[in-house]
């Protein structure tokens, strides 16, 4: 009996040991299964999310009908700096830029610059101007940590294809974060036409002419086209050469006086002395068309700072866009122009100068001398003179830009 009890006791211990061992083995097996199952599930979820976002980015990159009424993330381009994969949320708005909180918690300021980029594929001259502009902008451009320069191009499909190739050559040398957006000129023209149709007959060269297209009044109605989250943008001609950091241009928004909606330089030729000839004849004491510093020579639209928030808020500015008011001012000043938005801004500036902040001439140092050789040589230098440093050269009317 004693032996049997000892055997039974030993068997019990073995059974307990085996049960414990079985439990350990079972737990280990479950751990392995959990590791592979949940681990691969997590990996698959992350990879799928990444693929979806890559697909969306690819889709956006190939779109020619980008809608500016929707504040979309710009497509990534080779050489550009892009955000992390997390979604963006608008945090707040600061002067001259839009502050965006990224998925990593960082707040980045976006500085928006827009250029017209149509018919560039058909013009070697425009291509060379674009090369000079971008290389000089990149050479002198410096932005602070967390700041992003967003380059907007209004383009046709063929020019966009060319522009993307050229930017792939230029942008890798940039030391600052940047993003690129191309916007279909046809889509924007369709949006603009109802707003600016009445202006075209007053400020276009004629039916079918270059400036007769509604797109050349984009700056006039930019506050209606861009999303409300965008509060500031600069519009720049292609025929520019930068001699300073473009970031400094954005800081000029801080100098706008109350009521000003647009920053712009004066016209440096007697073009409006000529265009307002009838009004000047009827009003011999007027300052309209006279040279600076006391005259009103008009504006040049090669470099413009558009305070979109102020443009939206200005009852006066938006009233001036109404067809009846456009016609009234055009009749009052006997005005018939051919330079699109520049003519409109010049005309309303004669009547409402407080809508404009006048930039120093060095921010748009125009080089064209056409009017000197076409009847205005005696007064030309009164308009053309520009004292002080030159920050941006403007090679308008195909003028040569200095190499310095």
Does 208 score more than 90 pLDDT?
no
Q: What is the pLDDT of residues 167-186, one digit of tens each?
A: 999 999 999 999 999 999 99
User: In this predicted structure, what is the pLDDT of residue 201?
Assistant: 84
User: In this predicted structure, what is the pLDDT of residue 14?
Assistant: 43
Does 289 score more than 60 pLDDT?
yes
Residues comprising the chain, all counted: 404
What does the alpha-carbon distance between residue 7 and residue 320 come to, in Å, rounded to a whole number?
108
**Which spans in 181-313 are helix H?**
185-203, 222-225, 246-250, 271-275, 277-282, 308-313
Per the model's pLDDT, the better-predicted residue between 224 and 10 turns out to be 224
Query: Average pLDDT in the 149-161 region?
Result: 98
Query: Average pLDDT in the 196-222 region?
Result: 78
What does the alpha-carbon distance between residue 76 and residue 57 come to, in Å, rounded to a whole number?
7
**Which spans in 124-245 are helix H?**
124-140, 157-170, 185-203, 222-225
CA geometry: angle 116, 366, 219, nearest 5 deg: 35
Query: Average pLDDT in the 317-325 region?
Result: 96
Domains, the chain, ordered by start: 109-398 (3.90.550.10)
User: In this predicted structure, what is the pLDDT of residue 32?
Assistant: 39
Per the model's pLDDT, the better-predicted residue between 198 and 246 turns out to be 246
What does the alpha-carbon distance between residue 164 and residue 117 come to, in Å, rounded to a whole number?
11
Nearest Cα to 395, choosing from 77, 133, 193?
133
Q: What is the pLDDT of residues 224-246, one digit of tens each?
A: 999 999 999 999 999 999 999 99
3-state class of 42 per DSSP?
A: helix
Does 320 score more than 70 pLDDT?
yes
Query: Average pLDDT in the 16-38 region?
Result: 45
How far apart, in Å, are the Cα atoms of 103 and each of 44, 50, 92? Answer: 21, 14, 15
Which residue is listed with tokens 């073995």?
14
As a dihedral over the C-alpha atoms of residue 283, residue 302, residue 236, residue 176, rounded to 10 degrees, the angle is -120
User: In this predicted structure, what is the pLDDT of residue 31?
Assistant: 45
Q: What is the pLDDT of residues 68-118, one digit of tens each?
A: 333 333 334 443 443 333 333 322 333 345 455 555 555 679 999 999 999
User: In this predicted structure, what is the pLDDT of residue 7?
Assistant: 41
Confidence of residue 12 (pLDDT cuts 50, 70, 90): low
Of 193-197, 208-212, 318-322, least confident by mean pLDDT is 208-212
Could you tell me the two tokens for 72? 């979309």
Output the pTM of the full model: 0.76
Does 154 score more than 90 pLDDT?
yes
Of 45-59, 71-85, 106-120, 132-146, least confident by mean pLDDT is 45-59
Does 330 score more than 90 pLDDT?
yes
Q: What is the pLDDT of residues 339-355, one digit of tens each?
A: 889 999 999 999 999 99
**pLDDT > 70: percent of the chain:** 72
Mean per-residue pLDDT of the chain:
80
Cβ burial of 46 (10 Å; 0-12, 13-18, 19+) is exposed
Query: Average pLDDT in the 254-277 region?
Result: 97
User: In this predicted structure, what is the pLDDT of residue 105?
Assistant: 52
Could you tell me the two tokens for 373? 């050789």
User: In this predicted structure, what is the pLDDT of residue 354?
Assistant: 98
């Amino acid at each position: 009996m004693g032996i049997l009890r000892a055997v039974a006791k030993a068997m019990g211990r073995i059974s307990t040991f085996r049960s414990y061992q079985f439990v350990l083995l079972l737990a280990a097996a479950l751990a392995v299964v959990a590791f592979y199952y949940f681990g691969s599930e997590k990996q698959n979820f992350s990879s799928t999310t990444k693929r979806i976002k890559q697909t969306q980015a690819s889709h956006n990159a190939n779109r020619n009908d980008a809608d500016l009424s929707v504040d979309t993330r710009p497509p990534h381009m080779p050489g550009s700096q892009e955000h992390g994969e997390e979604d963006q949320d608008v945090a707040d708005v600061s002067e001259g830029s839009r502050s965006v909180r990224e998925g990593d918690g960082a707040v980045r300021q976006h500085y928006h610059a827009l250029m017209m980029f149509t018919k560039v594929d058909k013009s070697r001259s425009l291509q060379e101007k674009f090369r000079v502009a971008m290389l000089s902008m990149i050479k002198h451009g410096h932005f602070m940590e967390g700041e992003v320069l967003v380059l907007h191009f209004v383009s046709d499909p063929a020019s966009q294809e060319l522009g993307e190739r050229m930017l792939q050559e230029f942008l890798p040398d940039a030391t600052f974060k940047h993003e690129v957006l191309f916007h279909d000129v046809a889509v924007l023209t369709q949006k603009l036409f109802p707003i600016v149709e009445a202006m075209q007959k007053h400020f276009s060269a004629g039916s079918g002419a270059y400036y007769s297209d509604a797109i050349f009044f984009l700056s006039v109605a930019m506050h209606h086209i861009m999303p409300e989250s965008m509060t500031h943008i600069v519009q720049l001609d292609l025929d520019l050469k930068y001699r300073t950091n473009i970031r400094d241009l954005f800081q000029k928004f801080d100098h706008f006086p109350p009521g000003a909606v647009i920053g712009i330089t004066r016209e440096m030729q007697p073009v409006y002395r000529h265009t307002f000839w009838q009004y000047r004849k009827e009003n011999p004491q007027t300052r309209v068309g006279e040279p600076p510093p006391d005259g009103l020579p008009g504006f040049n639209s090669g470099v413009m700072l558009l305070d979109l928030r102020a443009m939206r808020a200005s009852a006066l500015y938006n009233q001036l866009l109404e067809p009846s008011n456009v016609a009234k001012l055009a009749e009052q000043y006997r005005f018939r122009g051919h330079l699109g938005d520049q003519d409109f801004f010049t005309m309303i500036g004669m009547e409402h100068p407080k809508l404009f902040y006048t930039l120093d001439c060095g921010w748009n140092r125009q080089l064209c001398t056409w009017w000197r050789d076409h009847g205005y040589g005696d007064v030309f230098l009164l308009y053309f003179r520009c004292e002080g440093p030159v920050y941006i050269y403007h090679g308008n009317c195909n003028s040569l830009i200095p190499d310095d």
